[in-house]
Amino acid sequence: MELIQIFSIVVLIFSIVLHEIAHGYAALLCGDPTAKISGRLTLNPVKHLDFVGSLIVPIVFFFASSGVAGWAKPVPYNPYLLQGRFAELFVASAGVLTNLLIALCIAFALSIGILTPSQEAFELITAIVYINIGLFVFNLLPFPPFDGLRIITSLFHSLGVARRHFMIFEQPFWIFISLLIAFNLSPFIASIVSFIVAHIL
């Protein structure tokens, strides 16, 4: 296995972990300590990784489209402890915004010369950008268990729509359906990721 592949696996794991930690810290900032009490505000990947979302899905998507996809075990939070009308929306958005911020910060550092890597190092650094933009786009899909759906439902909750209207999406069979949809959309997702990366680097 080449260095870039090993490096990409490590970056993917920690990018997913940071994504989940961001959800937990956002909830903590809004008054809910559930993630902290559960020991999920840690960089230890063992606490976060999910067998399907952190292993099977990334492997399948990589060989299917060379794209980036995956998720970790959702960080637990109690929506009834959150303080603020849009607190749940903030918590739901924190993960994808973290991945986007990581990619933008590295791209900015490259653009103004803070990072001046060799050709080999440049490939490694751009892999961080690509992976985090990939996670950003993939997790915005509006299906369970992706953040995109939770962002939408959280927005409706903040506008007064009852939580019970979205309980159907908590059924396990939705994950299987969502993976089928995501797999078929993988070439489209990969093209969006490549487009974004090309315009920020």
Tens of pLDDT along 63-103?
Answer: 665 666 666 788 899 989 999 999 999 999 999 999 999 99
pTM: 0.88
> How far, in Å, CA of 83 to CA of 80, rounded?
8
CA distances from 178 to 1, 6, 142, 161 (A): 31, 28, 9, 24
Work out how many domains the chain is built from and give that number: 1
- Domain extent, residue 84, equals 3-200
The set of catalytic residues is 20
Residue 49 phi, psi (nearest 5)? -70, 145
Q: Is the pLDDT of residue 106 over 90?
A: yes
Average pLDDT over residues 157-183: 78
